[in-house]
Amino acid sequence: MTNKPTACFLATAFALVALAAPALAQNPGIDYIGYGWETGGLLPSEAGDELVVAAVATGADPVFQVDFGVDELTFHMYGMTSGGEVPLGGGAVMVNYSGGFLDIYRDPAKNADWGVNPPNAVAPATFVDGALAFRGEFTSLTFYYAADGSGAYEGALNGLDGEVIDDVCANCAYTWGGSFTLAAGAQIPDGYHVQIDGMLELDGSVANEDSTWGGVKALYGN
């Protein structure tokens, strides 16, 4: 665990700007969209393939006080290893991934660019620049696909690092969303295999819309 600045410093350094925005859900969360690629392609997902996702936040609960006019939040999910497809019947499949991390970066450059045929000069590079806001490790991650190539995913994470936390928090984050492949007709940049649209949520109630990143940290006893 790296030496962490104090909560007071982090609260100041995070450019606290109140935004007039509705809460995204009952839990504080960040909405994101992005694209992923898997070694060996998708679908099928073969055992041992690695899935990588690059995404941008399109909204954040007011408790985070993120000013999207100043910063972008980018997501980089990586190191997820496919366990192969499990048929569910009716042409649907389930893919469990082992390992992997979800990083969120806060970056005033606002330069996120998926490009084509990743990895490339901009992906994931433009999704991993800036300050590390959150790093979580997946304790579970499962993708599901229906026969038409549309699907969904969900995963649970431990918090490991980043501005929002001072210490490891177990099972403190949850991410889910829709996943859509070329077979479903989704608009996907060349070289990418799946389009995702999801949410990252932090457990705990949103008690105070005036909370700062420090307040979010307090949810985990930090």
Partner 1 sequence: MKARITIWLTVAIVASLPLAAQAQQLFDFLGQADLPDGVGDALTLHGVVVDPAPAATPVPLDFADFEYTLVVTDLLLDVDGSPQQYSGGTLVLYEDASTAADHADPSTFTDGTAVLVGAITFLERTMFTATLGTVSGSVDWTGGAMVGLIAPQDLDGWLFFSGVNAREEQVEPGNDEVWDGKVEPHDPIVENAIMNWGELKRRF
Question: Does residue number 115 form part of the binding site for partner 1 (CB under 8 A)?
Answer: no
Assigned token pair, 139: 């304790």
Of 39-47, 76-84, 88-96, 128-136: span binding partner 1 (CB under 8 A):
88-96
Assigned token pair, 157: 């994470």
Q: Which residue number, 165 or 200, has a Cβ lying nearer to partner 1?
A: 200
Helix, strand, coil tally for the chain in percent (to 5): 10, 45, 45
Burial of residue 175 (number of CB atoms within 10 Å: 0-12, 13-18, 19+): buried
Assigned token pair, 87: 């048929």
Question: Does residue number 219 form part of the binding site for partner 1 (CB under 8 A)?
Answer: no
Half-sphere exposure (Cβ direction) of 179: Cα atoms closer than 13 Å: 25
Of 36-44, 79-87, 95-103, 144-152: span binding partner 1 (CB under 8 A):
144-152
CB 103, min distance to partner 1, A: 18
Question: Does residue number 101 form part of the binding site for partner 1 (CB under 8 A)?
Answer: no
How many Å apart are CA 49 and CA 68, to the nearest integer? 34
CB 54, min distance to partner 1, A: 11
Question: Does residue number 70 form part of the binding site for partner 1 (CB under 8 A)?
Answer: no
Question: Does residue number 179 form part of the binding site for partner 1 (CB under 8 A)?
Answer: yes
Q: Which residue number, 24 or 164, has a Cβ lying nearer to partner 1?
A: 24
Question: What residues contact residue 144 under an 8 Å CB cut-off, 6+ apart?
Answer: 88, 92, 93, 94, 95, 151, 152, 153
DSSP state for residue 218 in the 8-state scheme: H
Beta bridge partners of 85: 95
CB 38 within 8 A of CB 79: no
CB 72, min distance to partner 1, A: 8
Question: Does residue number 120 form part of the binding site for partner 1 (CB under 8 A)?
Answer: no
Question: Does residue number 189 form part of the binding site for partner 1 (CB under 8 A)?
Answer: yes
CB 89, min distance to partner 1, A: 10
Question: Does residue number 171 form part of the binding site for partner 1 (CB under 8 A)?
Answer: no
How many Å apart are CA 96 and CA 81, to the nearest integer? 8
> Which one of 150, 160, 218, 222 is in contact with partner 1 (CB under 8 A)?
150
Question: Does residue number 199 form part of the binding site for partner 1 (CB under 8 A)?
Answer: yes
AA identity, residue 140: S
Binding site for partner 1 (CB under 8 A): 20, 22, 24-27, 31, 33, 56, 58-59, 68, 88, 90, 92, 94, 112-114, 144, 146, 148, 150-154, 176-180, 184-189, 195, 197-199, 201, 203
